[in-house]
Structure 1
Amino acid sequence: MIKVVFKDNICLSEKEVLKFHPQIKSFLNEIKEKGWKYSIMDIEGEAVAEIDENKVKFELHYYPPDITEPDSEGRYALKAELGSEPPAVIKVLSVKAFKIKISTPHCWNAATVNPFKKTVTHIKDVLWRWSLNKEKKPSKLSEAREVYEVAKWLIEGKKFKPENSYALEDYKQLVELFEKPYTFKLKLSLTVKDEEKVPSWDKIVEDLSEFFLERGLLMSIERNKNKLFFLEKKPLP
């Protein structure tokens, strides 16, 4: 048997994760008390495992230099096929990060959070599929209601912030459906005064979203279908 250190993405039980981050236990208990379920995913850390060298099949791979970087060099990598059984973890060295996926009785993966950053990384877009359904089934609307309750508890109750514009817009749609708030349009005209200081489009949207959210406003961008913002490094004409 040989011992190997696994880094980055590792598969661990909830018990092992809580050994390193016991402060998360109360948050998990709150989820269960609301009748929801959770799973810990995307675990990043280090662990030592034992592998039977007689059952391992190694493959050598060569990756050529990146043609976009003239000074880059090719590199070699080993790929190991371990078979149908996972390696036995002897000792977990660290758990650096992970996400928590929350599901409701009628909606799997209603929302995903990063407990370290206190951000909501994903809110399930139930309304998009519901709007495409000509029959407008009540079951889809009740599913959206459960997603709304999870998202509202996280953002307003636990003070988690939407991590990206997609999560914020999904939450805004749910609020508009179930709370019927007052909505108004605001048109901005921006002039580039110093191009070197202009951040990426995603950064501008993120900062504006956070600015309005702190003042009780949910923002969404009306995108121009003929212009793909996400392909631009800077929001220049």
Structure 2
Amino acid sequence: MKYTVRLKGEFDLSEDDVKRFHPWINPLLEEIKKKGWKYRISDVSAEVLVELNLDELTLTLKYYPPRIEEFDKEGTYEISAEIGNEPPAVMKILSVEKFNVEISTEHCWHAVEINPFKREVKWIKDVLWFGLDKDGPNKLSEAREVYEVAKWLIKEKKFRPADDYVVEKYKRLLDLFEKPYKFTLTLELAVEDIDRVPGWEELKKDLCHFFRERGLLVELKKGDKDVFGLFRKPLP
């Protein structure tokens, strides 16, 4: 028997559906098109009414342990449902909570991804991750296109890098194409209150934000090469 069920989660909704709930996004999307770039609305979180045949559902219960840097926290459980070869019929969209926008250029698909709600750059494609090799000129051209998108968002549209990884990718592109003045700053930190000391990831994010607010892009390098040390507090 089929039932109408209210669900919250990520759904593959059309662009018109999203813009109907969030018309404020239209000017930004139009600017992207005028730049000659393409965009795709992704990761749409919404609340919808769908039609499901509950008698034919196959449910799976999964347990996810806490992340390695959050070992003192509890894990979470997830119930997933297999519903067959066809997606459920969406009867009505009640709300669209959030979504991201992926921006592509002529030669680079998914060059940059943004969260328009937080006005953050979530991701910058690292075109030169494997170096230049024999395809160097094409990769440089692609990297230039990625840089132009990122620079437009960060400098003109005042989007913030979401984390230090985005800052580092943007800084590498800036170093490559703008040759900015650079200097090295060494900090020696002493623990004053052990209970307030954050983990490395949080500390890096805060420091990147601190310098970014002052017109500086920073690449932070941790001394040791212990991968698991990245998730621990910077304590002896």
Pairwise TM-score range, normalised by the shorter structure: 0.7 to 0.9
Preserved contact between residue 121 and residue 159 of structure 2 (Cα < 8 Å):
yes
Aligned equivalent of 2:169: 170
Counterpart-to-counterpart distance in 2, 1:215 and 1:80: 49
The correspondence of residues 53-68 of structure 1 with structure 2, limited to 5 A, is 56-59=56-59, 61=61
The correspondence of residues 31-110 of structure 1 with structure 2, limited to 5 A, is 31-52=32-53, 56-59=56-59, 61=61, 77=79, 79-110=80-111
Counterpart-to-counterpart distance in 2, 1:142 and 1:64: 42
Larger mean CA deviation between 136-145 and 167-176 belongs to 136-145
Aligned equivalent of 1:156: 155
Counterpart-to-counterpart distance in 2, 1:61 and 1:185: 51
Larger mean CA deviation between 140-149 and 119-128 belongs to 119-128
Preserved contact between residue 147 and residue 170 of structure 2 (Cα < 8 Å):
yes
Give 1:171's aligned amino acid: Y
Give 2:235's aligned amino acid: L
Cα deviation per residue 1:129-188 (whole Å; 9 max; x = unaligned)?
A: 2x2x43252000000000000000010010000001110000000000000111110000
Give 1:194's aligned amino acid: D
Structure 1 residue 207, shift from structure 2 partner: 1.5
Q: Percent identity?
A: 48
Q: SS in structure 2 opposite 1:95?
A: strand
**TM-align CA RMSD:** 2.6
Q: How does the TM-score come out when normalised to structure 2?
A: 0.88
Preserved contact between residue 200 and residue 231 of structure 2 (Cα < 8 Å):
no
Counterpart-to-counterpart distance in 1, 2:60 and 2:168: 45
Q: Identify if the C-alpha distance between structure 1 residues 109 and 57 changes in structure 2 by more than 3 Å, giving closer, same or farther.
A: same
Q: Identify if the C-alpha distance between structure 1 residues 80 and 168 changes in structure 2 by more than 3 Å, giving closer, same or farther.
A: same
Give 1:176's aligned amino acid: D
Q: How does the TM-score come out when normalised to structure 1?
A: 0.88
Structure 1 residue 223, shift from structure 2 partner: 3.3
Q: Identify if the C-alpha distance between structure 1 residues 75 and 107 changes in structure 2 by more than 3 Å, giving closer, same or farther.
A: closer
Give 2:28's aligned amino acid: F
Q: Identify if the C-alpha distance between structure 1 residues 207 and 59 changes in structure 2 by more than 3 Å, giving closer, same or farther.
A: closer
Counterpart-to-counterpart distance in 1, 2:31 and 2:218: 29
Q: Identify if the C-alpha distance between structure 1 residues 53 and 158 changes in structure 2 by more than 3 Å, giving closer, same or farther.
A: same
Structure 1 residue 13, shift from structure 2 partner: 0.7
Task: List structure 1 segments (4+ residues) > 6 angstroms apart after TM superposition.
Answer: 72-76
Aligned equivalent of 2:203: 204
